[in-house]
Amino acid sequence: MYFEAEIKGRKYKVDVIETKGAWKVSLQPEGKNWNHYEISKTDFQTAEEYISFLFEGQSYLVDVIGQDTEYTVFTRNSFRTIKIFNDEMLLHRSLKKGGGLGGGQDLRAGMPGKIIEIFVKPGDVVKEGKSLLIMEAMKMENEMRAARDVKIKEICIKQGDSVESGAVLIKFEEVES
Amino acid sequence: MEHPITEATTGVDLVKEQIYVAAGRPLSFKQEDLKQEGFAIEARICAEDPITYKPSPGVIRACRHPQGPFMRVDSYAYPGYEVPIYYDPMIAKVITWGETREEAINRMQRALTEFVLTGIKTNIVLHKTILDHPKFRDGSYTTQFIEKNFEVLEPQLFKQIDDPVFLIAAAITAYNDRKSKDIRQLNLVSNWKRIGRKLVLRA
User: Where do the structural domains in chain A lie, given as residue ranges?
Assistant: 2-99, 106-173
- The shortest C-alpha distance from B165 to chain A (Å) reads 7
**Considering its fold, how many domains does chain B have in total?**
2
Q: Are residues B85 and B54 in the same domain?
A: yes
- Is A95 touching B (CB cutoff 8 A)? no
pLDDT at A88: 67
Residue partners of A3: CB distance under 8 A and separation at least 6: A13, A14, A15, A16, A84, A85, A86, B171, B174
In a domain, B107, yes or no: yes
- Cβ neighbours of residue A116 closer than 8 Å, sequence gap 6 or more: A133, A134, A135, A136, A141, A159
Residue B19 lies in a domain: no
Residues B79 and B117 grouped into a single domain: yes
Are B128 and A55 an interchain contact pair (Cβ–Cβ within 8 Å)? no
Say whether B186 sits in a helix, a strand or coil. Answer: helix
Same domain, B85 and B120: yes
Both B103 and B182 in one domain: the answer is no
Q: Which of B65, B85, B184 to mutate to test the interface with A (most CBs of A within 10 A)?
A: B85
Do residue B155 and residue B174 come from a single domain? no
- Answer yes or no: are the C-beta atoms of A113 and A135 closer than 8 Å: yes
* DSSP one-letter code for B146: H
In this structure, the answer to whether residues B142 and B194 fall within a common structural domain is: no
Residues B192 and B150 in one domain: no
CB contacts, 8 Å: B81 with chain A: none
Cβ–Cβ < 8 Å for A20, A31: no
In a domain, B14, yes or no: no
Closest to B133 (Cα-Cα) out of B146, B123, B122, B144: B146
Assign B17 to helix, strand or coil: helix
Task: Show residues of chain B in contact with A82, CB under 8 Å.
Answer: 166-167, 170
Same-domain check for residues B49 and B93: yes
Q: Does B118 touch chain A (CB under 8 A)?
A: yes
pLDDT in 10s for each residue of chain B, 203 residues: 689 999 999 999 999 999 999 999 999 999 999 999 999 999 999 999 888 888 888 899 989 999 999 999 999 999 999 998 888 889 999 999 999 999 999 999 999 999 999 999 999 999 998 998 888 999 988 888 888 877 777 777 777 788 899 999 999 999 988 887 766 656 677 888 888 888 888 86
Cβ contact (<8 Å) for B161 and A76?
yes
pLDDT of residue B187: 65
Taking the CA of residue B5 and the nearest CA in chain A, the distance in Å comes to 24
pTM higher than 0.90 for the full model? no
The alpha carbon of residue B53 and the mean position of all alpha carbons in its chain are separated, in whole angstroms, by 15
B150 and B168 in one domain?
no
Determine contact: A16 vs chain B, CB below 8 A.
yes
State which residues form the domain around B167: 163-203
| Burial of B10 per CB tally in 10 Å (0-12, 13-18, 19+) | middle
Three-state secondary structure readout of B100-137: CHHHHHHHHHHHHHHCEECCCCCCHHHHHHHHHCHHHH
Residues paired with A84 in a beta bridge: A5
For B97, residues 6+ apart whose C-beta sits below 8 A from its C-beta are B8, B9, B38, B39, B40, B70, B71, B104, B107
- Mind listing the pLDDT tens digit for each residue in A35-53? 999 999 999 998 777 899 9
Chain segment B43-65, per-residue pLDDT in tens: 999 999 888 888 888 899 989 99
Interchain CB distance below 8 Å, B115 and A77: yes
Res A109: pLDDT: 84
CATH of A106-173, one of 1.25.40.80, 2.40.50.100, 3.40.50.1000, 3.40.140.80: 2.40.50.100
Asked if residue B143 belongs to a domain, the reply is yes
Complex-level ipTM: 0.74
Residues B131 and B187 in one domain: no
Which CATH number among 3.30.1330.10, 3.40.50.300, 3.40.91.50, 3.30.700.30 corresponds to the domain A2-99?
3.30.700.30
CATH number, residue B110: 3.30.470.20
